[in-house]
Structures are given as C-alpha cells and as structure tokens.
Structure 1
Amino acid sequence: MDKTRLHQILSLAQRAVREAREQIGEQAWQGLETALLSGERPWHEAVLLPLGLAQEMVLRDPDLRARLDRLQVAPGDLERISDLNLQACDLAALLPWNLTKGAYVFDPDLFRSLVGAPLERLPVDLLTRLPEYAPLLVFPEPWQGGVGAWVHLDVDTRFAPAHLEFRAVLLGENGRRLPLLLDLTGATLEECIQGTQTETLLSQQLVGMEGVSFPAAAFDTVRGLLNLALYLASEEPDLSGRPRPLPGVGQRRKDKPPRVYPEPDPLRIEVGWRIGAALRRARQAEARGQGGAGKSPQPHIRRAHWHLYWTGEGSRKDPSKARPKVRWIEPTLVGADRLEGELPAVVRIVEEP
C-alpha cells in the first residue's frame, strides 16, 4: 500500500476518534481512560470497554434513561436511541484503539485469501487472543464499502447467560462508520448468525421498535472480518513488528489529576507480507514455465484453511488438560525450495517466560 493512501485511511481513523471524544466531552473521555486502566474491570479479560458501559457514557438524558428503564419510550425517542447506539458503538471501539493505535496493514494476496476463506466452526477462544483490544484492520483495497475496520470483543449481560460478542466498526471511504456484530453463542457461524438475528429482534421489540433483521450481506462482511481477526490471533501471524502495550496512568503536573498519555501517532504493522511476497514469486516462476516432464512440481499454491488441533502438557493421558488451538494454514507455497533466494524475514511475537 502506498504511503498516501495509508495516510488517508489513518487520517480518517484519527478523525473518527476526535469526533467520538467531542461527543462525550474531553473530561469524560480522559476520566474513562483513567478508570479503565487504573481500576479493576469486573468483566471478561478480553474486553476493555463493554458496550453497556459505553451506552451509559453517551446516555446523559435522565428523562430518556428513565423511559428506557421502564421500557416506555416516546415516539420521538427511537431516532435518538439509534443515534446514541451508534455513538456507543464508536466509543467502545475507538477509545481502546486510541490507547495503542495499532494499524494492521494486510498484504493484498493474504487479504483476498482470508476474506474469501470458508468459516464454519468458530474458535471463540482464539478471538480472545487478539494482539490489541481493538486493532484497526487496514484493507489493501476497498472491500464491502470500507477501507478498514476496528474489531473487538464485547460481553453481553442483557440476556442470561452472559456471553461474548464479536463486534466491528467498518470505516468507509468518506469516514462514515457502520457497526456490525455477531453473538458468539453457537458452535458454528450459522448458529451464531441465527442467534444474532433472534437477539437483535428481541432487543428492538423490548423498547417498542419495529423488529428489523440484519441483511444477509452484512454477515458476509462479518465472516470476512472474523477471518482477518482470527489470523491476527492465530499461533504465528506474519507481522512486521510488535503491538504497543497499554499506556500507564501518569501525572505530569502536580496541579492536574493523573491521566493516560497514549502515543499520538498510529503504529503501522504489516501483516502477511512474507507469505504474500512468496506467493507472488511463485506465480512469477509459474509464468516462466520452469516445469516439465520428469521434473519436480512447479511452485504452486495450496488452498488456505483453518486447522484445529489440541495441545497441552499431559493432555495425551488426561484429555481434560487439552487446550484447543487454531492455526491459519496460509495459502501454502508448495515447492518453495525451487525459488531463487530466500523468503523475506518475518518478526514473530514470542511470549516472554
């Protein structure tokens, strides 16, 4: 991706953050950052800012809050509720991203393989291992009306039992944002889609709104974003660098309260450029026609897929100790040893002991 286009996308992302800050106010934004990073968070560890808390932050009209509590909304409330929900979706994604600002720029070939890959069973546990709470996925080309998307997890406590949700905010070329979600209540993508539709209709009906289902095309977008997110959370993603850690709470002036000071600029992390470069070199070798009868197969691409396996010390004797892991098997380059030169180096993220 050329620097000009990346700069445009990151400028749109930072503008979205500024708009979200202005909507709740600078003092409320800083206070929420400080509270989230300095106190206990009594919800799932993979969630930094639950949507329910974000909704509390944007819903500052006491009369509207009272009507919602009584499930007795007035005719003019519905549009306002919709606007506030969009603000809350922005806040739940943008505040966590602003703390670390990781911008994950996908290689074009890997990107196309991922967004087009099938996805049946959902490895929910893997999604809890995203490199950041709300990474920004930067698309190498426009896709589904967007140039990028923030992805994150949420915990839904409205309906028992509480469960995780996959959420995304699609960033459009014009800066507009579209929130997307998937309830992670089923073992398969189809079960999760059905659960999402059912719960969405129920939540709308509870406040007197006419139930409207998500269009089927929205879940095609969700599936693609899930595959991108799962790649970042997989065992050995091809990343050019490490994400930033969460900043601490500091006090730079004695006359000011402690607050959070995030890095001002996004951090570009390239994704899949090693495998992408190898795939392109394989195609070039194939085009040159280096094969022939009696020779080893030409370098070619084996279809990408997800592979589930079980690991864990003592798991052979005691299956209860086994831990599921999902590995993204890239569009594998078969016969790579026949290409001249070495594959580009890649930085692997390794946990310190």
Structure 2
Amino acid sequence: MSSKIPKVWQMIDLARPLGLKNAKCSSRIFAPVETATAACIACQAGKAKGGRVDIPYPSLVLALAQWRKDKEVFVLDPDLAQILYEQDDTSIPAAAVDYLPYPCFYVETAGLDAYLPGVHGFFFYIGWDTQTRKELMSFIFAGKEGKIYPFDIPLDSPDLSECFDRMNRRKLLSKNAEIQARGRQELEQRDSVMLLLRCSLQVVLYLCACNAEIVPDPEQESVMKRSNGSEIKDRYVEIRKWDVGFVTGPALQAQKRRLQSEESPTRDGSHAPKRPHVRRGHWHHFWTGAKSDAENRRLVLKWLPPIFVGSVDDDLPVVVHPVKEA
C-alpha cells in the first residue's frame, strides 16, 4: 500500500483529529473511513492531474493504517476453529468487545473459504458509521489475488440477518458502481455470507474471552524485531504472531472422535439409556461492579467448551494462557 499510495499513512495521521471531530466519533475509534478516502485522494491528486483517481478499498486502507502500528496476527488452530464455527450463540452484550486484544488485528483461520471462496482470514476493528453515529464491527476478509470483502455490522444490533440486509441495502443504493456491484454479489450469496460473518464473530468473541488459550508463536517470536523508538518500518520482522487454541482444539476434537466411536448407549440411573452426544460450546458472561458505578462496571466473557455427554471421559481439562504483554 505504501508503494501504491506514497505517504498515505502520514496523511491519515494528519487528517485524523479533524476527521474524528467532524464525524463525532466515540473515544476508541481510530478514524472514520471518510478520513482514509480523503487521504487517498489527497495523495494522488498531483499524480492524477484531473484524471481518475485510483482509490483502493478505503476500509482496507483504514484497517492497515491501524494494524501497522501493532502488527498483531492471531493464528487459529483448525480444530478449535471448526468447534467455534459450529456455535450459533451471538446474543452477547456489545461490551464484550471492550476486551479486544488489540484495536486492530488480523486473524488467520482455516475453513472460511467454505463460505466465500479464497478467503483465508480477516482484519477486525471497531469502525464508525458517520450517518447513524454508531460503532461498527468491521470485518475485512482477505482472499486470493488480493481480493477484499469488507463487511460492517452495527455493534448494537445482535441480529446478523437484519444487519446484513440493512448494510446491503446501503451498498445497492450507493452512487459508486463498484460498491453497487459488490452489493449485488453479496445479495446473491446471502446465506454463505451470513455463515461467514457468524463464524468469524465466534472467533472474535473467543479472542475476547477471559479463558482464551493464546500464546506467542515461538517461530515468529525468535525473529521478531521492533525498534525501541516510534518509527514504523513496515517490515516482516515487526509482525508478532499468536497461536490460538493449539492445545485445546486438538484435545476437544480427539474427545469428539472418541465419543463418535462409542456406539453403545449409556444408562443414567433409572432413566432410559442415552447415546453419547455433544452439546455445542457456548458463551457465558456476567457483570462485575455495582450498577450504580457505570465507570467501573465490567463484563466478563467466558467460553464454555463442548460437553461430551455419555462419553467415557466426560471431563476435559482446558489449558488457559491469557495474553500478557512482554
């Protein structure tokens, strides 16, 4: 991006204060997407000389402007990813995202290409809707050959179906032909896109959970180098990777396979025998602090893994490794 639009990062940093003020953004917003659009136009104004200005996806530019400051990548274990994808629990208070590990991060996770071909991961950050003046959960899905699929979900709307229809309607009514075309494509693939968003949301919630298994990737940790100063050089060695669920995921899948191999039903006391089965994982949350003290009141989100009912080994110890700064 730096080579395609030189000095775009510096331009965004200069424009951010005014953009935040004009859009009346909440305190945790990095910048509205209009700031990224304006920065791209300004950086290419001289080169265009009255011609067409080539602006990439503004939401991607905005995501990269934030991500490059921390350069955090979370690599999800494929087994854990599959377990999370099977969940359908999205009725979580918006306060859960108060515990995002970083303001903007990239998630590398397998299996999303089943819903949108070529997708291998996504950027996530809290965005801003300048029309409604509300916070958004912004997903930027990365596909093959540089293809990008951005989706925004209002943070205060738990119904993914309603959110999709509302955001898609805005794309179809856009004056930008490219955005209109993307809206039509998404509408044709509505069911797949809904599954993609639901699965990705489960992953984001897991990263916010107090008992998430997240540890530094040893290979990347051995080569990672970051300067002590504030200068960002945008080099590969500045990236920090985290391994997510590489103990929990395989252990759960192994127990699931053992359960599936147990064909005979088990008897529970005087009740009729029950065949072994799995209760899907889900979320548990509770509040700490007095309701009268809103400033210090906090939501705690905890992931409850699948329960294997009727298995020989019902209890699985889950290893917890909370994220801690070095």
Does TM-score exceed 0.5, indicating one fold? Answer: yes
1:173 paired to 2:144: yes
Write the letter of the residue equivalent to 2:232: V
| C-alpha contact 2:266 2:275 (8 A) present in aligned 1 | no
Distance 1:248 1:53 in 2: 28
For the residues of structure 2 that align with 1:260 and 1:35, how far apart are their CA atoms? Answer: 18
1:3 equivalent in structure 2: none
Q: TM-score, normalised by structure 2?
A: 0.71
Q: CA RMSD in A?
A: 4.5
Distance 1:261 1:45, change over 3 A: farther
- For 1:300 and 1:270, the matched residues in 2 are separated by 29
Residue 160 (structure 2) aligns with: 189
Q: 1:305, 1:344 → 2: CA distance?
A: 15
Distance of 1:295 and 1:331 partners within structure 2:
20
Distance 1:284 1:206 in 2: 50
> Equivalent residue for 2:88?
118
Q: Are 1:305 and 2:282 matched, yes or no?
A: yes
**Which whole-Å CA distance do the structure 2 matches of 1:95 and 1:57 have between them?**
11
- Deviation sequence 1:7-41 (CA, Å, 0-9, x none): xxxxxxxxxxxxx112220x3425646887x9997
Do the aligned partners of 1:126 and 1:230 also contact (CA within 8 Å) in 2?
A: yes
Shift of 1:154: 0.8
Segment of structure 1 superposing worse, 326-335 or 276-285: 326-335
Task: Tell me the residue number matched to 2:254.
Answer: 281
Aligned match of 1:138: 108
- Name stretches of at least 5 consecutive residues in structure 1 with no aligned partner: 1-19, 68-75, 251-257
Letter in 2 for 1:310: F
Q: 2:232 aligns with which of 232, 245, 260?
A: 260
The residue correspondences of 1:327-346 to structure 2 (distance < 5 A) are: 327-332=302-307, 338=313, 343=317, 345-346=319-320
User: What percentage of residue pairs aligned between the two structures are identical?
Assistant: 20
Q: Tell me, which stretches of 5 or more residues in structure 2 are unaligned?
A: none
Conserved in 2, the CA contact under 8 Å of 1:111 and 1:139? yes
Q: Provide the rounded CA distance (Å) in 1 between the counterparts of 2:247 and 2:39.
A: 42
**1:276 CA drift (Å):** 1.0
Q: CA 1:283–1:181 in structure 2 vs 1: closer, same or farther (change >3 Å)?
A: same
Write out aligned runs for 1:154-165 (5 A). Answer: 154-157=127-130, 159=131, 161-165=132-136
Q: Determine if contact 1:299/1:339 at 8 Å carries over to the other structure.
A: no
**Alignment partner, residue 24 of structure 1:** 5
Q: What is aligned with 2:210?
A: 235
- Alignment-derived partner of residue 4 in structure 1: none
Distance 1:176 1:47 in 2: 25
Q: Which residue of 2 aligns with 1:271?
A: 244
The CA distance in 2 between the partners of 1:112 and 1:162, in whole Å, is 35
Contact 1:30 1:259 in 2 (8 A): no
Matched residues in 1 for 2:276 and 2:214: separation?
A: 24
Distance 1:29 1:337, change over 3 A: farther
Partner of 2:74: 104
2 CA distance for matches of 1:129 and 1:47? 14
Aligned length: 300
Measured in 1, the distance between the counterparts of 2:227 and 2:33 equals: 23
